[in-house]
Amino acid sequence: MFVHFWMSQSPISANEEMNLENALYVMQKHRIRRLPVVRAENDLCGIIAISDIYPYVGPHAMAKALLSEEVAKQLRNVHVASVMTKSPITCHRNATIDEIGVIMRRNKIGAVPVLEGTKLIGIITESDILGALANIAQREPDSRRIFFRIPVADKMITFYKIISLCERNNLEILTILIHPIPEELSHLVMLRVRGKDVAEFIGALWRYHYDVLLTSMME
């Protein structure tokens, strides 16, 4: 799944000369936690997060109404350029959400600006990644979700068997997810299908000696 399907396009941004009071106001107004920072021609030069403003305000006094005049004046005297993360990690629109998710986790960041060349065209956040993953296993009418365990050695052959069994039982494959089970020489498969002969399909899984753990009907 490509980033450009899930990113926020033309995101709200800041410039280097914006002061922290205005940056905080923009974040609060739009209920966002970070702003890409751009120069002329929409060239990305940094990113500022609400946590970058904490040293001046404190995490428990971020609401505009709680800012004293002294703190507000201090924020007005500090420019975004002095606290932003310069040359942030970025990605291309055709990056995949799984690789971007790994990058976010590895670098402990909550968002990645999306560039076309040097131009900012979007931003993808951890919430967008979660939304995309939830969409993969989303509920659809009359679909059945089946969880079963397979040996690691059977990973490749399982794909062929699943496709063959689904074709034989007139089932539509909606999602297949496979991931390793920690400390076990097996994989957990989540299969989401739609069709009338699901019971016969599940019986076939047992006959292939796959350990069916759970089935659930989507209503």
| 151: containing domain | 138-217
Burial (0-12, 13-18, 19+ Cβ within 10 Å), 182: exposed
- Average pLDDT for the chain: 87
Nearest to 112 by CA among 31, 137, 101: 101
Q: Across residues 49-63, what is the average pLDDT?
A: 76
Residues 57 and 99 in one domain: yes
pLDDT at 60: 56
- 123 with 16, same domain: the answer is yes
Same domain (yes/no): 76, 106: yes
In the predicted structure, residue 154 carries a pLDDT above the cut 80 = no
Q: 133, 159, 180 — which closes off a domain? A: 133
Which pairing describes strands 119-125 and 8-9: parallel, antiparallel, or unpaired? antiparallel
Q: Are residue 165 and residue 188 in the same domain, yes or no?
A: yes
Q: Are residues 182 and 95 in the same domain?
A: no
User: Are 69 and 112 part of one and the same domain?
Assistant: yes
Count how many domains the chain has: 2
How confident is the model over 188-202, as pLDDT tens digits? 888 888 888 888 888
Predicted TM-score of the model (pTM): 0.75
Asked whether residue 65 falls in the same domain as residue 12, the answer is: yes
Give the CATH number for residue 18. Answer: 3.10.580.10
Q: Which of 76, 106, 133 is the last residue of a domain?
A: 133
